[in-house]
Amino acid sequence: MPGIKKYDAIVIGGGHNGLTAAAYLSRAGKKVLVLERRYILGGAAVTEEIFPGFKFSVCSYVVSLMKPNVMRELMLPKFGLELLPLESTFTPLENDYLLRTADADQTYREIARHSTKDAETYMRFGPAMGQIGMAVRPILETIAPNVIRPSLSDLGATKKLLNHFKTLSSEQFEYLTKLMTMSSADFLDEWFEFEPLKASMSASGIIGTFMGPRSPGSAYVMLHHYMGDIDGAFRAWGFQRGGTGAVSMAIARSAEHFGADIMTEAPVEKVIVKNGRAVGVALENGDEYNSDIVISGLDPKLSFLKMVDESDLPSDFVTDIKNFRIRGSSGKVNLALDGLPNFTCLPGDGHHLRGAISISPSYDHLEKAYDDAKYGNFSKEPYMDIILPSVLDPDMAPPGKHVMSCFVQYAPYDIKGGWNDQKREAFGDAVINTIARFAPNIKDIILHRQVLTPADLESTFGLTEGNIFHGELSLQQLFTMRPAVKWADYTTPIKNYFQCGSGTHPGGGITGSPGEMAAKKILGIWS
Residue-wise pLDDT for 181-203, tens only, equals: 899 999 999 999 999 999 999 99
- Residue at a domain's end among 232, 260, 293: 232
220 and 131 both lie in a single domain: yes
With respect to residue 140, please indicate whether it lies within any of the assigned structural domains.
Answer: yes
**More confident position, 231 or 505:** 505
- Give all strands (DSSP E) within 93-234, no chain letters: 97-101, 229-230, 233-234
Of 128-132, 297-301, 401-405, 486-490, give the lowest mean pLDDT range: 128-132
Domain-embedded: residue 172: yes
- Based on the fold, state whether residues 364 and 438 are members of the same structural domain: yes
Contact 433, 408 (CB under 8 A): no
CATH of the domain at 74: 3.50.50.60
Residues 6+ apart with CB under 8 A from 112: 118, 119
Structural domain range at position 301: 6-83+242-325+470-526
**150 and 216 inside one domain:** yes
Specify if 264 maps to a domain: yes
- Name which of 18-22, 162-166, 246-250, 469-473 the model is least confident about: 162-166
Do residues 15 and 22 make contact, with C-beta atoms less than 8 angstroms apart?
A: no
Sign, CA dihedral 208-214-218-219, equals: positive
Q: Which of 3-12, 284-293, 383-392, 444-453 has the lowest mean pLDDT?
A: 3-12
Q: What pLDDT sits at residue 167?
A: 83
End residue of a domain, out of 202, 232, 262: 232
Neighbours of 374 (CB within 10 A): 12
Number of residues that this document lists for the chain: 527
* pLDDT band (50, 70, 90) for residue 228: low
In a domain, 106, yes or no: no
Q: Do 487 and 516 sit in the same domain of this protein? A: yes
The C-alpha torsion from 242 through 245 and 250 to 254, rounded to 10°, is: -160
398-85-335 Cα angle (round to 5): 35
Domain membership flag for residue 101? no
The residue ranking higher by pLDDT, 157 or 240, is 240
Same domain for 450 and 342: yes
Cβ burial, residue 180 (10 Å; 0-12/13-18/19+)? middle
| 211 C-beta neighbours (distance < 10 Å), count | 24
**Are 356 and 456 found together in one domain?**
yes
Q: Which of 461, 494, 518 is the last residue of a domain?
A: 461
Q: Which of 213-217, 224-228, 269-273 has the highest mean pLDDT?
A: 269-273
Predicted model pTM: 0.94
Q: 296 with 17: CB under 8 angstroms?
A: no
Q: pLDDT confidence of 234, banded at 50, 70, 90?
A: very low
Interval 456-473 mean pLDDT: 94
Same domain, 65 and 187: no
Beta bridge partners, 101, equal: 88
Q: Does residue 233 have a pLDDT over 80?
A: no
Cα angle 39-523-35, degrees, rounded to a multiple of 5: 10
Same domain, 152 and 163: yes
Same domain, 141 and 204: yes
Report how many domains make up the chain.
3
**Do 273 and 225 sit in the same domain of this protein?**
no
State the average pLDDT over residues 497-519. Answer: 94
Q: Indicate if 315 and 333 belong to the same structural domain.
A: no
User: What is the rounded distance in angstroms from the CA atom of residue 338 to the CA atom of residue 522?
Assistant: 50
Q: Residue type for 442, please?
A: I
Tell me if 374 is assigned to some domain: yes
Amino acid residing at 75? M
Contact between residue 382 and residue 368 where contact means Cβ atoms under 8 Å apart: no
Say which amino acid occupies 148: I
Residue 229 has pLDDT above 70, yes or no: no
pLDDT band at residue 141 using 50, 70 and 90 as cut-offs: confident
Phi, psi of 507 (to 5 degrees): 115, -160
Instruction: Count the Cβ atoms, other than its own, within 10 Å of residue 149.
Output: 7
Pairing type for strands 88-92 and 83-85 reads unpaired
For residue 512, tell me if it sits in a domain.
yes
> Are 42 and 138 part of one and the same domain?
no
Q: Do 202 and 213 meet the contact criterion of CB atoms below 8 Å apart? A: yes
Q: What average pLDDT does range 64-80 have in this prediction?
A: 91
For residue 392, the model assigns a pLDDT of 94
Q: Is residue 371 part of a domain?
A: yes
Indicate the average pLDDT of the chain.
Answer: 92
SS3 247: helix
